[in-house]
Amino acid sequence: MTIYPKNPIEVVNINLCSLNGKIGRTRSESTPTRHEQGITCDEDFALMERIVSESDAVFIGNRSMGSEKGAFSVAHMRKNKNLPPDPFWVIFTQSGQVYPDNHFWDQNHIPKIIFKCTDFNLSSKPQLSVESKVIKENEFPFLEGNINGLYLYLSQRGAKKAALFGGGQLNGLFWQHNLVDKLYLTISPVLIGGVGAPELIESSIPYLKQLSIEECRFSNGFVYLTLQSEIKVKK
Ligand SMILES: NC(=O)c1ccc[n+]([C@@H]2O[C@H](COP(=O)([O-])OP(=O)(O)OC[C@H]3O[C@@H](n4cnc5c(N)ncnc54)[C@H](OP(=O)(O)O)[C@@H]3O)[C@@H](O)[C@H]2O)c1
């Protein structure tokens, strides 16, 4: 049995995929477009909102955020909960080049962090440099360092739980490095073909993860799974 270090921030991965494990038809498809095509549904969006309303941070790949029209607020669901109105939205990038035209940068009520991650290994000592980046005349925190550096930064700001939205490349990195505690997976009754269609997990390194089903629910043609990741942790 392999023992891994304990994840200082609980990470729950939330995604919707087709019957053949695709999370979209192209690499730049927004959630509203998937909704129009019947790939996703209102109930799945409500689930996503609930998970985000219970989280202190949202982790999302630069490309996925570039495909969306922006973030969504959960402030109305967090009233009277002694929490900041919205969680931090953390954009993971390797290039450091975010999509400046995205409406996201105009959403002043959403706290944002751009994070250039150099290392996803939980055993590494925290490392982080904090600078700022100007986008559309506003300054945003631009962090560069390893995942433990980010976790420390977020923990110092009261964060305990993060919702990992993907896409497939970011999911792949988190699963590869045993950084996911739970998976909320909605299976849509569609098959998606096409060479460029992104997968739920994309990784150049082969790996196998064991998960156990905590809940399985069927509603209006969609299957809603809650799965526990079987990682054994060192306290
Ligand atoms: N169905 C769903 O639930 C769901 C959920 C999310 C997304 N999606 C869809 O999935 C598609 C995008 O998925 P994707 O797999 O192509 O991309 P992705 O995982 O969203 O983002 C990949 C980005 O992550 C950054 N990245 C890669 N390696 C990194 C590293 N080592 N450290 C830090 N950042 C790193 C890169 O940013 P840079 O390019 O800046 O280097 C890369 O562009 C879109 O169509 C989106 O709508 C679907």
Number of other CB atoms surrounding residue 185 within 10 Å: 18
Distance of CA 139 to the CA centre of its chain: 23
Residue position matching structure tokens 């790996």? 207
- Is 201 close to ligand 1, i.e. is its CB under 6 Å away? no
pLDDT per position as a tens digit, 70-127: 999 999 999 988 889 999 999 999 999 999 999 999 999 999 999 999 999 999 999 9
Number of other CB atoms surrounding residue 33 within 10 Å: 17
Query: 80 CA to middle of ligand 1, Å?
Result: 34
Pairwise CA distance, residues 124 & 233, whole Å: 16
- Is 169 close to ligand 1, i.e. is its CB under 6 Å away? yes
Cis before 158 (ω within 30): no
Instruction: Please report the pLDDT score of residue 231 as a whole number.
Output: 65
Residue 116 contacts by C-beta under 8 Å, 6 or more apart in sequence?
93, 94, 96, 142, 143, 144, 145
Query: 65 CA to middle of ligand 1, Å?
Result: 8
**Number of structural domains found in the chain:** 1
Identify the band that residue 232 occupies on the pLDDT scale cut at 50, 70 and 90.
Answer: low
Q: Decide: pTM greater than 0.85.
A: yes
Task: Tell whether the model's pLDDT for residue 27 goes beyond 50.
Answer: yes
Query: 231 CA to middle of ligand 1, Å?
Result: 24
pLDDT per position as a tens digit, 160-201: 999 999 999 999 999 999 999 999 999 999 999 999 999 999
Task: Tell whether the model's pLDDT for residue 144 goes beyond 70.
Answer: yes
- Is 16 close to ligand 1, i.e. is its CB under 6 Å away? yes
- Is 27 close to ligand 1, i.e. is its CB under 6 Å away? yes
Pairwise CA distance, residues 125 & 227, whole Å: 30
Pairwise CA distance, residues 65 & 169, whole Å: 13
Q: What range does the domain containing 41 cover?
A: 3-234
Instruction: Please report the pLDDT score of residue 69 as a whole number.
Output: 86
Average pLDDT over residues 3-9: 73
Check which CATH number belongs to the domain holding 15 and give it.
3.40.430.10
Pairwise CA distance, residues 195 & 210, whole Å: 27
**Higher-pLDDT residue of 146, 8:** 146
3-state secondary structure of 59: strand
Q: Which of 30, 34, 39, 94 to mutate to test the pocket of ligand 1 (most atoms within 8 A of CB)?
A: 94
DSSP result, 108-140: TTS-EEEEEEEE--TTSPP-EEEEEEEETTEEE
Identify the band that residue 235 occupies on the pLDDT scale cut at 50, 70 and 90.
Answer: very low
Instruction: Please report the pLDDT score of residue 70 as a whole number.
Output: 94
The mean pLDDT value of the chain amounts to 94
Q: Considering only CA atoms, which residue is closest to atom 36 of ligand 1?
A: 93
Instruction: Please report the pLDDT score of residue 99 as a whole number.
Output: 95
